[in-house]
Amino acid sequence: MKWLEMSTENCTVQRTLDVVGEKWTLLLLRDAFNGVRRFDDFRRHVGLSEAVLSDRLRKLVTAGILSTVPYQERGSRTRHEYRLTPKGRDLWPVLVALRQWGETYVADPEGPVIEIRHRDCDAPVRVVVECSEEHDALSPYEVTVRPGPAARVGSPTE
């Protein structure tokens, strides 16, 4: 079965984009990875309306990407911080890859806004696709794609 013969109704890329594919969602995840935890801090930093921010955070919590942890400042009501779950932390390479692509193709002429470096040796961090056997970085031209167990024949209108 060739790619154009396959149905995309159960495509994992599509399913992933259904969860995290909105611009604001990715920016909220970016901030969460950089230590932002509180609603007002997200709102100020990303610049979203309260309604949109509430909706995006609710969706991320429902998807299990963020969890809420109660906190209370002296003299205030109990509120919630938003923290990345293990499922959310697994999105880190995705955001690093997006940043890496952006630094290559749409970077600010003055240089990167942030640098991600290995704590031990201070070398820049990068995302690569590698073989699980030999651990070599691969290009799209060095791999084969074949139908997996969930592949289905698509209809002509898909």
**Whole-model pTM?**
0.85
List the domains of the chain with CATH numbers.
Answer: 3-142 (1.10.10.10)
Per-residue pLDDT of the chain (158 residues; tens, 9 = 90+): 776 777 778 888 999 999 999 999 999 999 999 999 999 999 999 999 999 999 999 999 999 999 999 999 899 999 999 999 999 999 999 999 999 999 999 999 999 989 999 999 999 999 999 888 876 888 888 888 877 888 888 765 54
The H or E element that residue 84 is part of is: strand 79-84
Can you tell me the distance from the alpha carbon of 82 to that of 57, in angstroms, rounded to the nearest whole number? 8
Give me the residue label for tokens 């290995």: 118
DSSP readout, 49-61? -HHHHHHHHHHHH
Can you tell me the distance from the alpha carbon of 119 to that of 121, in angstroms, rounded to the nearest whole number? 6
Residue 125's CB is within 10 A of a number of other CB atoms, namely 13
Can you tell me the distance from the alpha carbon of 158 to that of 94, in angstroms, rounded to the nearest whole number? 27
Task: Specify the pLDDT at position 158.
Answer: 46
Task: Specify the pLDDT at position 155.
Answer: 64
